[in-house]
Amino acid sequence: MARYAIRLTELTKDYPTGFWRPRPVRALDQVSLDVEPGEVLGYLGPNGSGKTTTLKLLMQLIYPTSGRAEILGRPAGDIEAKRRLGYLPELPYFYDNLTAEELLVYFGGLFGLAPAVARTRASTLLDRVGIGAERRRRLRRYSKGMLQRVGIAQALVNDPEVVFLDEPMSGLDPVGRRDTRELIQSLRGEGRTVFFSSHILSDAEALCTRVAIMVKGRLVSTGRLADLAFEVQGWELVVSGGERGDLAGLGLDAVTTTVSDGRHVIELPFDRPPDQVLPELSRLRFQVVSLTPRHESLEDYFMRLVASRQEPAA
């Protein structure tokens, strides 16, 4: 068995540009990254940071300028590796005259599944992604979120060991996002390796064993999300009981919202840490319902990294 499920070695991609811009665009710059079997890796970065380019190189839909991409110990594009991987493209496009069921049976056939096996697998997978009743409806009549779900089912049709998902949550409503998160979690439970891209930090929280953060074609950090230096910007404190008027006395009025069931949501700024206000609140007979740190968003983190990179050397 290969030591790494996915291995990128100094992977670099320049896109040629048109006549008026003779200088090629460097979409990916010397990216090296190893993903172990069974990991769920969140490949995070803002728009244009090179996520889709990386996935296309891994699928060998495009070729690198230099460097290597390997899957299960074999070079990208290798037939044996392709049989063992699944891929959800960024903008999945299907033959929209087919039904979801027909599409999956068709893809199953491409992987050499016998028709009866393909039909059973199609039905199981469509249930799994929440396309039950609509499986015999033509894809033309599917919503974006439904197509996204069919795309995920399609990526699993060959029971892959390694699953690549390019922005699997895009176009999904909150329920769809939660379902997709749970699905990725179950893939992890089954021991599959998952490599998914996103530009939204919360997609990666509580889901990834590790994240890799891309900025402008470069890998700027990898690690467990909890270990990366996301700055705490403040806290959200929810309390109940007590008198709202007493909060004004603590100078918290401006940052408090009272919600319907007698709860007060207090947005504590960074310079007002909870341990300063909790004793006071307790004295005024407020009870703490919850306390959550507010971290900077992935976008803020990127901005900070980008800004720090642009600072002139001391």
Ligand X SMILES: Nc1ncnc2c1ncn2[C@@H]1O[C@H](COP(=O)(O)OP(=O)(O)OP(=O)(O)O)[C@@H](O)[C@H]1O
Footprint on residues 74-133 left by ligand X (CB under 6 A): 90
> Between residues 43 and 107, which has the closer beta carbon with respect to Mg ion?
43
Q: In sequence order, which residues have a C-beta less than 8 Å from that of residue 188 and are 6 or more positions away?
A: 38, 40, 194, 209
> Between residues 127 and 299, which has the closer beta carbon with respect to ligand X?
299
Q: In sequence order, which residues have a C-beta less than 8 Å from that of residue 177 and are 6 or more positions away?
A: 169, 203
Write down the least CB distance from residue 213 to ligand X, Å.
11
Write down the least CB distance from residue 186 to Mg ion, Å.
24
Q: Give the separation between CA 139 and CA 204, rounded to whole angstroms.
A: 29
Over the window 156 to 195, marking each residue x when it contacts Mg ion by CB under 5 A and - when it does not, the resulting string is ----------------------------------------
Report which of 55, 62, 54 is spatially closest to residue 10, judged by C-alpha positions: 54
DSSP, residue by residue, 181-227: HHHHHHHHHTT-EEEEEES-HHHHTTT-SEEEEEETTEEEEEE-GGG
- Residue 15 binding: pick among Mg ion, ligand X, none (C-beta 5-8 Å cut-off by kind): ligand X
Instruction: Identify the residue whose tokens are 């900077």.
Output: 296
> Between residues 15 and 95, which has the closer beta carbon with respect to ligand X?
15
Write down the least CB distance from residue 273 to ligand X, Å.
35
38 touching ligand X, by CB under 6 A: no
Of the candidates 6, 31, 44, 52, which one interacts with Mg ion according to CB under 5 A?
52
Q: Give the separation between CA 198 and CA 168, rounded to whole angstroms.
A: 8
Point out which residues bind ligand X (CB under 6 A).
15, 25, 27, 45, 47-53, 90, 199
